[in-house]
Each structure stands twice: as C-alpha cells, then as structure tokens.
Amino acid sequence: MTEILREAEQDVVEGPEDYFTGKATIRANFSREDPSRVTGAIVSFEPGARTAWHSHPLGQTLIVTEGVGWTQVEGGEKLEFHEGDVLLCPRDKKHWHGATPDAAMTHIAIQEALDGTNVVWGEKVTDEEYLSAAAKTD
C-alpha cells in the first residue's frame, strides 16, 4: 500500500547549529524500510545559510525546487545552481551547499545509507570560505 506523508503532518525542525550556519529548516525527513537504504528530506535555507562540510558514503542527489545556491567540493571551485537544477554530489567527498547571501534556496536531498550511515559531518564552512571567489555559473 502506498503511504502518503501529508505536508500538514510533516515535522519541521531547525537545522542543528552544529551542522548549519544561519537558518535552515528540515521538513519531511524520511527513511525507507530495509532492504532500502534511501533517506531524504526537504531542506530550506534562508539567505546566507549553509551546511557544514560533510560527505555521504554513497553520494547525494539534490533537486533544487526554489532559489539560488552555492556548492563546493573540497579543493574544487564554488559553483552556483538554480531552481530546477539537479546536483549529483560525489560519494565520500567533503562538500557543502547552501543559499547565496542574497537569495533563499530549497532543495530535496536524497541519499543512501551505508551500514546505517548516510552522512558524516565535519567542521563548519567559515565566512571566508563561503564568501571567497565568485561562484562559477556555467
């Protein structure tokens, strides 16, 4: 039987301060029953909000539903993305993502768990890292 998680019944929580800078909210956080390894959520970032550095053992897919954001893989260029874009974050590579300073952003995050772990959190992205170098837009 299909289960529907109605919007009015979905929990909305603040992004934990240890893992987010600025205001981010997490809604519809879900995980599928075994043998599935899929987990996901809808995450909304206010302008300037972003995740800490983190990695996913099996990668992550982000479907951008609103706004403009930035992302960066450790050692790589900062990239800009927009509503309608899909980000394919690599497995086991530290990265961050969030809104730009001037625009909010919402994405659907989908990832798989490996041995019960779907994310490994690291240190926060500093203001200097976040604001350094203009984001590549193409």
Intervals of the chain under pLDDT 70: 138
Give the burial class of 9: count Cβ atoms within 10 A of its Cβ; 0-12 exposed, 13-18 middle, 19 or more buried. Answer: exposed
Please tell me the predicted confidence (pLDDT) of residue 102: 96
pLDDT at 110: 97
pLDDT of residue 138: 65
Distance CA 84, CA 30 (A): 22
SS3 6: coil
What pLDDT sits at residue 109? 97
> 0.85 cut: is pTM over it?
yes
